[in-house]
Amino acid sequence: MKFLVTGCAGFIGSNLVEKLLLNSDNFVIGIDNFDAFYPKEIKQNNLKNFINNKKFEFYETDITNKKELKNIFSKHNIECVIHLAAKAGVRPSFDKQEEYIATNINGTQNILELMNKYNIQKLIFTSSSSVYGNADYEKLSEDIENLSPISPYANTKLECEKIIREYTQKTDINAICLRLFTVYGKRQRPDLAITKFVKNLMNNKEITLYGDGSTSRDYTYIDDTVNGIIEATKYPLKFEIINLGAGNSILLKDMVTLIEKELKKNAKIKYMPMQKGDVFKTYSDISKAKRLLKWQPKTKFEQGLHQFIEFIRSEQE
Ligand SMILES: NC(=O)c1ccc[n+]([C@@H]2O[C@H](COP(=O)([O-])OP(=O)(O)OC[C@H]3O[C@@H](n4cnc5c(N)ncnc54)[C@H](O)[C@@H]3O)[C@@H](O)[C@H]2O)c1
């Protein structure tokens, strides 16, 4: 199949493209603008893993640039769009709302317009567990109504889901919005807590913990997320919103203990107040993904953490 993957140089995008290219029937067109949220060199390094693959073609393009985007769509017979490009951090979104709206919402609209124009019928969109805000449920399931996200980032993701739903109603586009829950593993973004904790502890530096350690997250291992995205490309569903999580929730303080255990070191912890936009808990109900995509996560947190730490070690050597 011929895929267009936006955000292909990022954490999830680069792992996804690498996996897609293992199937010799696939061809991948990748788009990324090396957004300044974290250093370009990290993203260029991610790309090195497949930039020379003959079944991959890269465009350094911004998804808000309609003209360049149109050239790419007109040149290739794309069959499926996997749209990951976004401004992805929760905390910076408070100060950069306009930029988040431009990339996340207007960029998504550009993709939808061009998919419609070039009659491309399959879209996978990466939404986020953050759309649930602090919804007062033990497990978060897709049928929870009246969601109240608590950050501009999360608002843009919820808005995108709505826009995509509307497009599927008035065009031939079929779409699956996957609500990803905190993804971790190889090439993880430098702004995410696990990356910072592991690197600081390895280098005997203090770690900063926001809150008292009682917040919790459903951590999903990158390989499981990537497999879920690929499974989603196989199902002809008109429009669905589906959680992709590990179906587990780990306390922040327990996550730190597991990292200490794995590195055989004790962390020096600096406690700071919780930050604006951080939710208290995420815990996914993944029954819909199991039912509709026949997908299920395979990696236990301890195992994924071990693999991630091995990856950081190999990078530092
Ligand atoms: N990592 C997670 O835990 C997580 C959780 C929920 C949802 N998501 C979503 O998954 C997707 C990928 O996230 P990630 O963690 O890999 O983030 P990332 O920042 O590593 O990847 C996003 C990529 O998009 C690119 N990009 C940003 N703006 C662009 C633009 N205007 N034009 C073209 N490219 C642009 C960036 O340069 C980057 O390479 C995002 O949509 C994010 O919101 C991630």
CATH number at residue 136: 3.40.50.720
Atom 28 of ligand 1, residue of closest alpha carbon: 86
The verdict on residue 314 lying in a domain is no
Among candidate residues 133, 137, 138, 183, the one with its CA nearest the CA of residue 158: 133
Mutate to test the pocket of ligand 1, among 46, 164, 180 (most ligand atoms within 8 A of CB): 180
- Reading the block at residue 65, the tokens are 């640039």
Contacts of 215 (CB under 8 A, 6+ apart): 251, 252, 274, 278, 279, 280, 281
How many domains is the chain partitioned into structurally? 1
Q: How far is the CA of 265 from the centre of ligand 1 (A)?
A: 32
The verdict on residue 195 lying in a domain is no
**Helix, strand, coil share of the chain (percent; to 5):** 40, 20, 40
Evaluate whether 206 touches 257 at the Cβ level (below 8 Å).
Answer: no
Range of the domain at 242: 2-183+220-246+283-297
C-alpha span between 199 and 205 (Å, rounded)? 8
Atom 27 of ligand 1, residue of closest alpha carbon: 86
The verdict on residue 97 lying in a domain is yes
C-alpha span between 44 and 192 (Å, rounded)? 19
Q: Give this prediction's pTM.
A: 0.98
The verdict on residue 211 lying in a domain is no
DSSP E strands in 150-238: the ranges are 174-180, 183-184, 207-210, 216-217, 220-221
Residue 240 pairs in a beta bridge with 176
The verdict on residue 120 lying in a domain is yes
The verdict on residue 265 lying in a domain is no
Per-residue pLDDT of the chain (317 residues; tens, 9 = 90+): 999 999 999 999 999 999 999 999 999 999 999 999 999 999 999 999 999 999 999 999 999 999 999 999 999 999 999 999 999 999 999 999 999 999 999 999 999 999 999 999 999 999 999 999 999 999 999 999 999 999 999 999 999 999 999 999 999 999 999 999 999 999 999 999 999 999 999 999 999 999 999 999 999 999 999 999 999 999 989 999 999 999 999 999 999 999 999 999 999 999 999 999 999 999 999 999 999 999 999 999 999 999 999 999 998 88
Which ligand 1 atom is at minimum distance from the Cα of 83?
41
The verdict on residue 259 lying in a domain is no
- Reading the block at residue 259, the tokens are 């990292």
